[in-house]
Chain A
């Protein structure tokens, strides 16, 4: 490829840079593989080069032709009026929902909790993330770092633990489950692996009349959720309820069925979904590894053998190597199995550890020391050839241009141990997929999977969850599952896979009367509430005792009140505005400014408080009577609605943005209505 100026590479696909003009971007599409209509990367390259050349020429011509208003280069022209009819604009304002891979409507379910409508709150979650009870205990919570409250106040709303509340306080929700057609549509789908991705695909396809078969190598479904998440974090009954709910919807489950050949099963189905996770724990090839192998365990395998009660004990002194969430689960499990000296060692500084902050905290709270900057060198054996300890070298992190380098300091330490648990990463492994059946693999032995459709180079085979692009977390597997289910449905209905259903969106005024909007803007100003924990001594002696007790109802309602209602959008109509400045004066976070239009860079600087967070958009109105425009910085808006309350002409309105990410349940609902 000659010139990559307008492109960047991700997931083995060349993407058009977002910095290019909007008009050209929409013509070309983001994914050049799609634009070229060629899914074979090698063949696509020459076609792409040609397109890029044309693209560059076009770009130059339009740039030179100043009269052409069709092109707007970011940074040189005045800001455009914000198009709020684009559902993505307000979707992005709802930071939590936008950050969630499955785009769960967080503010809405928190509001339902506040109204004690736990069943509704649970179902809203269930529709978009399938496993509210499981995720409410184990989710990696991409929503929480995104939470607006983290910017406007101190800490985000405890979104994840409120999700757990919907599970803990719901009643029987079976009546609300989608109807499963008795007459099937004649299409058979095979799902390999009974983890969150496959289960999501099953749930999305069953209401449409598909016959779904799930193959699971273990004797119970759940995948990594069962084998790798210790029951002190996720009790088996929660897992069973949510997993078997899907099986009960009519999926055929084949346990103890390891698929050793894709070729053998592929012809029995109209489409196959591979959701086998990333089941291969990485090994550590350093001196002594082979000799001491009896006492060295791969973390995820070890956790699995505990989940199925094959392993029931461990030595007194245990070293856990690794800094991710698996390492945290390993060390906390080891302590519960009777180890009395458990240490975690990690090569990087503590601040760079991959484990989620809260999981790291829990481990530290349980008295487990984390030795950072400690790199394993050698397994040490005693005279009888048994593991007696490990040699480590201390490292030092050096940062140049934001890039980290770990430099050995030469200082060596020896730690005694009886057992070592390795939790240094996971890989995908597909020894069971034949190389000659049309599925292409990349240089890392991962299948080449389309980011949008989840389809592999074999049209009948779809991937999702960790199997697609390596280890992620449950919520990503769910998101992949939704997309794969849409693709499979399209594929089986002979619809173009890129012809995907749009999200369901709705933007409705919440005005009830003068100064009244139908939501509670009296947001709590209190700090984030802590989730009560079980007694530590008791918890450390019981492998199955859940450590977190969850919010009680009062705590849950108090925490729910902290939500800022970011889905309540401030919608502005310039033709009604008399520029009285009432909204500017009342806004508690100074996010509204009336000023002359300019380039985005200059506008951002001249607001009442400069808008420095470039990730957040500016809401720009059309021209007002005085020639100025209204500019609202979405970054700090607390959605209190006071701008609308103080507006004399109703130029501001509060409208609820309901955004439901596309998934097949939407389709099945529409179908059911048609039948009715």
Chain B
């Protein structure tokens, strides 16, 4: 088994505006099972950060416990990281966000970490509109503890040992829309053409962005009766049509017929261009999004793509009117503005 990847790279490898190649965004060699969907997601995060010219030292990777939560070790080696207690990553993210809103927060979690032990934390991070990208690497199973059902496993899906699942699944996307998440997408680890633009959009979005990514567990949940296997997802995936991420200052290259596409402007001026599957759908209308998810679920289809976006939301730091500068850069006179100011405040209280 190899623990290191050869350092040499393709001499013609594309460079981004920082002069970095895709390989400069890599992490260590994965110790997850060979073929794990999580590794594909890591690769998509690498691709998205590379394309957005992100400086790795301005990124914080946060995670909890689980296979998914190991994944931050396998991308962006030069970034900050915090591996928290099981299900408690949202609290850490909230705190970090308040202390320094300059960093890009990538929270990596799984179905166990978010839909079971950490569901309370998950909901409140959404409710508070923490400015972060929240990845749920959703494989419907507790892989790290040898394949028990997780809370997102479908009712009809058996486990590897043939046991029936007794309880219905939690759909994190619908829950997130209801709780006020401002960017909600579902995708599949095996479809990088769809996933990379969705991650890019989520990174540029200001507010809570949920990416529920179905990520097959090759070891415990890739069997014939699984509804989260590579084959099942490929056969039941109903992609919402193409999503293009258009950076600021670039022209949209794809043109769709009138009414068949919709453009969403993100906070930094970049845009998402979405090809719509039907004319009635509007990704900025939460009600319609929830309806679509429910409808497709009834049809036995898994809808993937950008499900909902609210580009006018206020993130946590704005809601709380926190200082723009990171706390660790505040000088003495900013932290303790002096007795005159104190007196003025006191006057205001009387």
| A179 on interface, CB distance cutoff 8 Å | no
Q: Which of B2, B12, B14, B190 contacts A580 (CB 8 A)?
A: B190
Assembled-state Cα–Cα distance A582/B38 (Å) = 10
| B1 on interface, CB distance cutoff 8 Å | yes
B192 neighbours in A (Cβ, 8 Å): 581
Q: Which of A582, A609, A642 contacts B10 (CB 8 A)?
A: A609
| CB–CB B216/A525 < 8 A | no
Q: Given A580-B230, A585-B42, A609-B13, do A638 and B34 touch, yes or no (CB 8 Å)? A: no
B33 neighbours in A (Cβ, 8 Å): 648
| CB–CB B12/A579 < 8 A | no
Q: Given A579-B190, A580-B190, do A589 and B42 touch, yes or no (CB 8 Å)? A: no
| CB–CB A581/B1 < 8 A | no
Of B23, B30, B34, B230, most A-chain CB atoms within 10 Å:
B34
Residue of A nearest to B74 (CB): A585
0/1 per residue, B19-43, Cβ < 8 Å to A?
Answer: 0001100000110011111011011
Please report whether the interface of chain B is mostly helix, strand, loop or mixed according to DSSP. loop
0/1 per residue, A277-291, Cβ < 8 Å to B?
Answer: 000000000000000
Q: How close is B294's CB to chain A, nearest CB, in angstroms?
A: 28
Q: Which of B2, B9, B11 contacts A642 (CB 8 A)?
A: B2
B2 neighbours in A (Cβ, 8 Å): 515, 521-522, 640-642, 645
Q: Given A589-B8, A646-B35, A649-B35, do A580 and B218 touch, yes or no (CB 8 Å)? A: yes
Residue of B nearest to A153 (CB): B8
0/1 per residue, A138-164, Cβ < 8 Å to B?
Answer: 000000000000011100000000000
| CB–CB A586/B29 < 8 A | yes
B234 neighbours in A (Cβ, 8 Å): 579, 625-626
Residue of A nearest to B14 (CB): A609
Size bracket, chain A contacts: 35 or more
Assembled-state Cα–Cα distance A642/B33 (Å) = 13
B40 neighbours in A (Cβ, 8 Å): 580-582, 585
| CB–CB A640/B35 < 8 A | no
| CB–CB A588/B37 < 8 A | no
| A303 on interface, CB distance cutoff 8 Å | no
A584 neighbours in B (Cβ, 8 Å): 43
| CB–CB A578/B35 < 8 A | yes
Of B9, B11, B35, B234, most A-chain CB atoms within 10 Å:
B35
A516 neighbours in B (Cβ, 8 Å): 1
| A590 on interface, CB distance cutoff 8 Å | yes
Total count of chain B residues near the partner, CB < 8 A: 35
| A647 on interface, CB distance cutoff 8 Å | yes
| CB–CB A515/B1 < 8 A | yes
Assembled-state Cα–Cα distance A205/B337 (Å) = 99
| A243 on interface, CB distance cutoff 8 Å | no
| B6 on interface, CB distance cutoff 8 Å | yes
Q: How close is A155's CB to chain B, nearest CB, in angstroms?
A: 13
| CB–CB B13/A581 < 8 A | no
B118-175 contacts to A, CB under 8 A, are none
A636 neighbours in B (Cβ, 8 Å): 10-11
A591-642 contacts to B, CB under 8 A, are 591, 609-610, 612, 625-626, 636, 638, 640-642
| A44 on interface, CB distance cutoff 8 Å | no
Q: Given A585-B42, A609-B12, A609-B13, do A580 and B37 touch, yes or no (CB 8 Å)? A: yes
| A523 on interface, CB distance cutoff 8 Å | yes
Q: Given A640-B2, A648-B218, do A525 and B11 touch, yes or no (CB 8 Å)? A: no
Residue of A nearest to B216 (CB): A580
| CB–CB A588/B8 < 8 A | yes
| B5 on interface, CB distance cutoff 8 Å | yes
Q: How close is B222's CB to chain A, nearest CB, in angstroms?
A: 8
Q: How close is A566's CB to chain B, nearest CB, in angstroms?
A: 14
B229-264 contacts to A, CB under 8 A, are 230-231, 234
Residue of A nearest to B5 (CB): A588
Q: How close is B313's CB to chain A, nearest CB, in angstroms?
A: 33
B184-231 contacts to A, CB under 8 A, are 189-190, 192, 216, 218, 222, 230-231
Residue of A nearest to B23 (CB): A588
| B7 on interface, CB distance cutoff 8 Å | yes
0/1 per residue, A338-367, Cβ < 8 Å to B?
Answer: 000000000000000000000000000000
B42 neighbours in A (Cβ, 8 Å): 585
| CB–CB B216/A591 < 8 A | no
Residue of B nearest to A586 (CB): B5
B30 neighbours in A (Cβ, 8 Å): 586, 646
Assembled-state Cα–Cα distance A586/B218 (Å) = 17
A590 neighbours in B (Cβ, 8 Å): 9-10, 13, 22
Q: Which of B8, B23, B34 contacts A525 (CB 8 A)?
A: B8
B34 neighbours in A (Cβ, 8 Å): 515, 582, 645-648
B190 neighbours in A (Cβ, 8 Å): 579-581
| CB–CB A588/B9 < 8 A | yes
B231 neighbours in A (Cβ, 8 Å): 578, 625
Assembled-state Cα–Cα distance A552/B189 (Å) = 51
| CB–CB B35/A648 < 8 A | yes
Assembled-state Cα–Cα distance A642/B39 (Å) = 14
Q: How close is B191's CB to chain A, nearest CB, in angstroms?
A: 9
0/1 per residue, A641-662, Cβ < 8 Å to B?
Answer: 1100111110000000000000
Residue of B nearest to A633 (CB): B10
Residue of B nearest to A641 (CB): B2
| CB–CB A642/B5 < 8 A | yes
Residue of B nearest to A584 (CB): B43
Q: How close is B137's CB to chain A, nearest CB, in angstroms?
A: 14
0/1 per residue, B100-124, Cβ < 8 Å to A?
Answer: 0000000000000000000000000
Of A521, A609, A649, most B-chain CB atoms within 10 Å:
A609
Q: Given A523-B6, A525-B6, A585-B39, do A578 and B230 touch, yes or no (CB 8 Å)? A: yes
Assembled-state Cα–Cα distance A588/B9 (Å) = 6
Of B8, B11, B216, B230, most A-chain CB atoms within 10 Å:
B8
**Can you pick out 19 interface pairs between chain A and chain B where the beta carbons lie within 8 Å of each other?**
A578-B35, A578-B218, A578-B230, A579-B190, A579-B230, A580-B35, A580-B37, A581-B43, A582-B40, A589-B10, A590-B10, A609-B12, A609-B13, A625-B234, A638-B6, A638-B8, A640-B2, A640-B5, A646-B39
Among all A-B residue pairs, the 10 with the closest Cβ atoms = A648-B35, A515-B1, A585-B43, A580-B35, A648-B218, A589-B10, A648-B34, A588-B6, A578-B230, A646-B34
Which residues of A are at the interface with B, using a C-beta cutoff of 8 A? 151-153, 514-516, 521-523, 525, 578-582, 584-586, 588-591, 609-610, 612, 625-626, 636, 638, 640-642, 645-649
Known: A588-B9, A589-B10. 17 other contacts (CB 8 A): A515-B34, A578-B230, A578-B231, A585-B40, A585-B43, A588-B8, A589-B6, A590-B13, A609-B13, A609-B14, A636-B10, A638-B6, A640-B5, A646-B34, A646-B35, A647-B35, A648-B218
